[in-house]
Amino acid sequence: MIRVAAVGDLHAGVDSRGLLRPGFERVAERADLLLLAGDLTRCGDPDEARVLTEELSDVGLPRIAVLGNHDYEAGREDEVRRILEQAGIQVLEGESTVLDAGGVRVGIAGSKGFGGGFTGACATDFGEPEMKAFVRHTKKLASHLEEALRELDGVDVKIALMHYAPVEATLGSEPLEIYPFLGSYLLAEAVDHGGAHLAIHGHAHRGAEKGVTPGGVPVRNVAQPVIRHAYYVYSFNGKSALAATA
Amino acid sequence: MEETRVTVGGRVSTPERQRAVTLAAQELMPGKEIANETVVVAQDEPEPGGDERMA
């Protein structure tokens, strides 16, 4: 059995000191690892990242994160990443990691992801250079996510961690007009082709928690305004997870 | 034309704080319509045993 705690969109600010920590006091009793689905800071300020690391310093679990769009706002995302990693929070972007928890090997592949929209209403790689750059950025990140998932073949549980949404279902009551800025079907293709057992994302604050990819992979939007808790926990029987995809 | 509606956003931890945001905004901007779009986000830990079993 492996228990995965997950939350996104913590949006730590310099005034968050002391506010986030109480929500994670018992997480080590309830989970084996903690996933952070991006937007860890409000504006990507390194001081905000430092506050986040202080607030999560006593969690007592492996912590794995992707960055979100807010973490890029200040143009100091490399610094934010370095601060997180120096504090022991592993940050993934087109990368993967494997943890052993009670004999179950869980692999996490992560990417911020990006937008573009969903089947039937999506941006295409056509026209102005700016539009091509937009779509090609998503294609690149989705491709790297799929490669990172494939690198995990052989683990018991394979999780895709993103900030942007891979499916429409978890966008809930977000305005339709902004769907293309909330996620992309290309991320769902990466999740399906990469053989994930679960896809975790954030970003859509007015979204819904549960969805599924076209290939049948459960999708969970763990943006804190959606789950309305400090985190949620998803548990797997490792052998069952393998059997489910056999 | 004078703007009469002010929208306030963000996240608060309790409904009481959400109501306090409206009162504070009304005090700061008398005569304006305050649209309080803040979201109450409880940062409590989930109940023990509330895990979702995925497989």
Domain parsing of chain A, residue ranges? 2-245
CATH topology of domain A2-245: Purple Acid Phosphatase; chain A, domain 2 (3.60.21)
Query: Using CB atoms, which residue from A11, A197, A230 is nearest to B45?
Result: A230
In which element (H, E) is residue B12 found? strand B11-12
Structure confidence at residue B41 (pLDDT): 65
pLDDT digits 0-9 by tens, A33-62: 999 999 999 999 999 999 999 999 999 999
Nearest-angstrom CA–CA distance, A158 and A170: 20
Structure confidence at residue A244 (pLDDT): 40
Nearest-angstrom CA–CA distance, A172 and B32: 31
Residues with pLDDT less than 70, chain A: 238-246
pLDDT digits 0-9 by tens, B24-38: 999 999 889 998 888
- Cα Rg, chain B, nearest whole Å: 17
Q: Which residue has the tokens 């430092």?
A: A50
Which of A:7-26 have CB within 8 Å of B?
11, 19-20, 22-26
Q: Which amino acid is at A69?
A: N
Nearest chain B residue to A235, by CA: B53
| Residue B14, pLDDT above cutoff 80 | no
Query: Using CB atoms, which residue from B11, B39, B55 is nearest to A197?
Result: B55
Q: B11 — contact with chain A (CB < 8 Å)?
A: yes
| Residue B2, pLDDT above cutoff 70 | no
Q: A27 — contact with chain B (CB < 8 Å)?
A: yes
Instruction: Calculate the CA A143 to chain-centre distance.
Output: 16
Structure confidence at residue B43 (pLDDT): 76
Q: DSSP label at A179?
A: G
Is A170 within 8 Å of A184 (Cβ atoms)?
no
Structure confidence at residue A226 (pLDDT): 92
Nearest chain B residue to A244, by CA: B55
Other beta carbons within 10 angstroms of residue B22's beta carbon come to: 14
User: pLDDT-based confidence at B3, cuts 50/70/90?
Assistant: confident
Q: What's this model's pTM, rounded to 2 decimal places?
A: 0.89
Percent of chain A with pLDDT over 90: 89
CA dihedral A10, A16, A17, A19 (to 10 degrees): -70
